[in-house]
Amino acid sequence: MTLSSIRTFVETAVGWIDIAMLVAGLAVCAFLSKAVLMPAPEDRHGGVFELIGVVLLIPAMAGAFVAWLSMRRRARWRWWVQPVPFVTFYAVAFLFDAALLDSAWQAILVVAVPWVAALSYACFGRRSAG
């Protein structure tokens, strides 16, 4: 297995991960929008918490789309843009005064994923900048 084939595999895998994040975000938004559009009669808040969830996800999905485009078009900055969905999600969550790093999975997403993207750039990005 050559370095070029490994590089191609990693870039393809990251592109598929970006698409999976986008599709998962759309699915969650579709699921939450039912409670926003047609809140249950016993729901005192009328779907407001679900609406906040949708508002948190929309910028992250836009970031995932930009990240996917950067991998697809092989832009020079394609590895640097991979943390954008996570940064936007946590920036919007911070604006809503949501607890940052209040669980282990959030710590993994906000700390590990940008580091993996930066490491991927260090290993593959400079040589394959197109």
Quickly state the pLDDT bin for 129 (edges 50, 70, 90): very low
More confident residue, 89 or 125: 89
SS (H, E, C) the chain: CCHHHHHHHHHHHHHHHHHHHHHHHHHHHHHHHHHHHCCCCCCCCCCHHHHHHHHHHHHHHHHHHHHHHHHHCCCCCCCCCCCHHHHHHHHHHHHCCCCCCCCHHHHHHHHHHHHHHHHHHHHHHCCCCC
pTM exceeds cut of 0.75? no
Quickly state the pLDDT bin for 28 (edges 50, 70, 90): confident
Quickly state the pLDDT bin for 128 (edges 50, 70, 90): very low
* pLDDT > 70: percent of the chain: 74
